[in-house]
Structure 1
Amino acid sequence: MSEPATPLRRGRRVRIAAAFAVLLALIAYVAVQYVTGGHVPRCTVGSGSARYELSPEQAANAATISAVGTTRGMPERAVTIALATALQESALRNIAHGDRDSLGLFQQRPSQGWGTEAQIMDPVFSASRFYEHLAQVPGYSRLPLTVAAQRVQRSGFPQAYAKHEPDASLLAAALTGRAPASLTCVTGNAPRRAGDPAKVRAELVRSFGQGVLPGAPAAAGAPAGAGRLSVPVPAAVETAGPGSAGGAPRRGWELAQWAVARADGLGIAEVSYAGRVWRADASEDGWRPGGGTDTGAVRMRVAP
Structure 2
Amino acid sequence: ERAAVDPASRAMARPSTAPAAPSASASPSATASPKATAKPKPKKTVRQIVPVAGLDRTQMNNAKKIVQAGKEMGMPRRALVIAVATAMQESTLLNYASGVLPESQNYPHQAIGWDHDSVGLFQQRPSSGWGTVEQLMDPEYATKAFLSALAEIPGWQSLPLSVAAQAVQISAFPDAYAQHEWRAGEVVAEILG
Q: Is the 8 A contact 2:94 2:121 kept in 1?
A: yes
Does 1 or 2 have the higher relative contact order (CA < 8 Å, sep 6+)? 2
Q: Which has the higher strand share?
A: 1
Deviations 1:239-293 (A, max 9, x none): xxxxxxxxxxxxxxxxxxxxxxxxxxxxxxxxxxxxxxxxxxxxxxxxxxxxxxx
For 1:69-108, list aligned pairs within 5 A.
69-97=70-98, 98-108=114-124
User: 2:143 & 2:136 partners in 1: Cα distance?
Assistant: 9
1:130 aligns with 2:146: yes
Amino acid at match of 1:68: A
How far residue 53 of structure 1 moved from its aligned partner, in angstroms, is: 2.1
For residue 140 of structure 2, what is the amino acid of its counterpart? V
Give the Cα–Cα distance (whole angstroms) in 1 for the partners of residues 129 and 138 of structure 2. 15
The answer on 1:162 being equivalent to 2:178 is yes
Partner of residue 269, structure 1: none
Does the 8 A contact of 2:51 with 2:57 survive in 1? no
Q: Which runs of 5+ in 2 are unaligned?
A: 1-49, 99-113
Q: Are the counterparts in 2 of residues 70 and 176 from structure 1 also a CA contact under 8 Å?
A: no
Residue 62 in 1 paired to residue 78 in 2? no
User: Percent same amino acid at aligned positions?
Assistant: 52
Task: List structure 1 segments (4+ residues) > 6 angstroms apart after TM superposition.
Answer: none
Deviations 1:126-154 (A, max 9, x none): 00100110110111111000000000000
Relative to the length of structure 2, the TM-score reads 0.65
What are the equivalent positions in structure 2 for 1:208-247 lying under 5 Å apart? none
| Alpha-carbon offset, residue 176 of structure 1 | 2.5
Residue number among 159, 162, 174 corresponding to 1:146 in the alignment: 162
Larger Rg: 1
Q: Is the 8 A contact 1:76 1:176 kept in 2?
A: no
Unmatched tracts of structure 1, length 5 or more: 1-42, 46-51, 178-304
Read off the aligned partner of 2:95 and give its amino acid letter: N
Q: In structure 2, what residue type is equivalent to 1:154?
A: I
Query: Aligned match of 1:119 in 121, 129, 135?
Result: 135
SS in 1 for 2:64: helix
Aligned positions, number: 130
2:191 maps to 175
| Partner SS, residue 115 of structure 2 | coil
Structure 2 residue identity aligned to 1:71: E
CA positional deviation for 1:71: 1.2
| 1:141 counterpart letter in structure 2 | Q
Contact 1:67-1:176 within 8 A present in 2 as well: no
- Cα deviation code 1:61-118 (max 9, x no counterpart): 0000001111111100000000000000000000102411000100000000101111
AA aligned to 1:169 is: G
Deviations 1:141-181 (A, max 9, x none): 1100000000000000010001111100101122233xxxx
| CA RMSD after TM alignment | 1.4
Distance 2:76 2:165 in 1: 15
